Amino acid sequence: MAPIDLTTIAQTPPFSFLPKQKIEELRHHFVEEKGKKNEVKFVRGKTKVSSLWVVVDGSAELYYEKNGEKTLRRMLSEGDCFGGISMLLNSSLAVRTMRISEDTTFYTLPAKVFLELCDEVEDFKEFFTNTFGKKMLDRSYAEMISRQVEPAEKTSPFFQQRISSIHSPLLLSCPATMAIRDAAGKMTEENSGYLLVQNEKGGYQGIITDEDLRKRVVATGFNRDAAVADIMSAPLITLPEDAQLFEAYLLMVQKDISHLPVANDDGEISGILTYRRIITEQSRSSYFLIQEINHASSADQLINIHSRLPGLLFEPIKNGAQPEALTSLITTVADAVLEKIVGLAVDKAGPPPCRFAFIIMGSEGRNEQTLKTDQDNAIIYEDLEDENQRDLAGRYFLDLAADICGWLDQAGFAFCKGNNMAQNPEWCQPLVQWKKYFSGWINAAGPEDLLKSSVFFDFRWGWGSRSLAAELNDFLFESLGNWSGFFRYMVENALHFKPPLGFFRNIVVESKGEHKDSFDIKRAVMPIIDFARIYALKLGIRETNTLQRLERIHERRQLTDSEYDDIVQSYRYLMNLRFIRQITAITEEDGKADNFINPKHLTRIDQTMLKEIFKRIEGIQQKMSIEITGIV
């Protein structure tokens, strides 16, 4: 048999990671296989996978099937692979069912050759096992969701709707021969983000979107007089009108597309569903909750309002929403509750004797609250010269803080066990005292003092005088300078939070107590939060959000591209896992949200990913220790 031409495959990940010599060797090992339309090649959990399958021409559908219903669908098209994860991490059993959508040609690589290649080329293997590539993360996470979070009666019905309920029936198109320049003009004229591309017979053969124009034309300087057929996405990825919205949402995330053509019962394109439309429609439910909060006339109307959040978040969590989208929604609700409660408390207490700022710290200060959260807040008020005025202000703001913290607790934002709240007299002080606190922590404190105070270095304004909060923030960064002792102690404290990975690379769990055989996912993510905080303070970065801090650190070239991608994807994966655990505890165990996960309840794939992440976290901790303390 003649060697197979791998010219196209060699340019596609993961084969693009291989040296040319290795590609040449593989030509003699690949075998061409054919698939007939509607043929089921693999059945999830039953069929053995003995080769890596690469689509050369045609397409195939991957899916789970439960109770006769297909879910978590994904289309394989030219260049996509199937079987790598199955052979590496799932005992060579298919992780999804694969059905041939049209007559398809595959190139298959025997398992023995594939596994040897994984041993020899780490980048090649990491395409399949590493969580740090966006595609791999999205796919594995979707699969993990389907295994761990089952639909519950109390879930929001939004994502259970049919696509036909919100898709647009208006179809905009252009011929394949139209110049890119003219197509862009038509999109602008029609105020549209897409055009379907028609062949000579009027059938739809592809699609161009505003994103295609940016990435394939503007960014590359591609000839704008060329035909749209040269840049269109083809073949079309579609779903039927009666598919559920969560299927469309998940397919868009997995295929990284923003426009999804919708087909009717005859298989004809009948409309378009956009990612933005899904997000807009879903956000309406949170909008109504915010409106309810804003219109509350008493704190009693906000009692246990936090308990409404799981209902809003179940579907996004179940369908693989990024953690920053989830925390953003929680932050929006929490900020609305805080604004309303502080306003009600001030109305009750009467006009304040001077300017003040209610600040928030910890996870809320970082905009990273989850479903298990408590209060971390404080009050800064204006410096007053008159002693009587100072006493009056002190009493006023303590009484005010007692109402605010008490009402927040009633609303579902629990009291802080460490008493880091404005109702604690220590954290309800004039600006001058707050400056003394930060000066002491920076210049005179030891590691133990900083361990207790690190939460305050994530503060942001919540209500009241922005200028007071800004002045304290300015003082903080002016005081930091290059005081090496402060950063050395911060690093020493951060290194107390080690990823739960044992000597033999097993996941370390609690040996006794209520959470026996589980590990704390909150503690597992802390090293990343600490890393971002320490470098942000050292570099003068004002953002408090972890992902925003990491982005700025990367921009300052303190993280390589590879390090940045690793740490960001690690953070997102751990936060996603944390949200899954919390929503599972609430909806399936009828309990309260917690952060404890039993590794035995995770699949082998999930365990492998966690171990890889923990190894990466050890790497960034070592980097931080070497660069800031000089200790390996």
In angstroms, the Cα distances linking 623 to 131, 617, 619 are 21, 10, 6
Omega prior to 310 cis, within 30 of 0: no
- Please state the φ and ψ torsions of residue 205, each to the nearest 5 degrees: -115, -10
- The Cα 361–Cα 420 span in angstroms is 9
- The Cα 103–Cα 129 span in angstroms is 30
Is pLDDT above 50 for 507? yes
Cβ pair 370, 582 in contact under 8 A: yes
**What is the arithmetic mean of pLDDT over 188-212?**
91
Is pLDDT above 60 for 503? yes
The pLDDT, as a whole number, for residue 377 is 97
CA nearest 574: which of 620, 517, 612, 630?
612
- The Cα 314–Cα 306 span in angstroms is 14
Cβ pair 127, 133 in contact under 8 A: yes
Measure CA of the first residue to CA of the last residue in the chain; give whole Å: 55
Question: What are the domain boundaries of the chain?
Answer: 9-129, 161-276, 296-435+459-464
The pLDDT, as a whole number, for residue 532 is 97
**What is the arithmetic mean of pLDDT over 447-475?**
88
pLDDT band at 88 (very low <50, low <70, confident <90, very high): confident
Is pLDDT above 50 for 89? yes
- The Cα 428–Cα 424 span in angstroms is 7
The CATH code for residues 9-129 is: 2.60.120.10
**What is the arithmetic mean of pLDDT over 406-428?**
95
Is pLDDT above 50 for 143? no
The pLDDT, as a whole number, for residue 227 is 95
CA nearest 289: which of 411, 148, 421?
411
Q: Which helix (H) or strand (E) holds 292?
A: helix 275-294
- The Cα 578–Cα 399 span in angstroms is 36
Residue matched to tokens 């959260």: 373
Residue 601 CB: number of other CB atoms within 10 A? 13
Is pLDDT above 50 for 147? no
pTM: predicted TM-score of the whole model, two decimal places: 0.64
Condensed to tens digits (0 to 9), the pLDDT of residues 367-382 reads 999 998 899 999 999 9
The CATH code for residues 161-276 is: 3.10.580.10
Least confident of 30-34, 183-187, 450-454, 626-630: 450-454
Residue matched to tokens 């779903």: 239
Is pLDDT above 70 for 345? yes
The CATH code for residues 296-435+459-464 is: 3.30.460.10
Cβ pair 527, 621 in contact under 8 A: yes
Among 20-24, 73-77, 435-439, which range has the highest average pLDDT?
Answer: 435-439
Residue 7: both structure tokens together? 């010219």
Q: Which helix (H) or strand (E) holds 587?
A: helix 561-587
More confident residue, 69 or 163: 163
**What is the arithmetic mean of pLDDT over 572-587?**
91
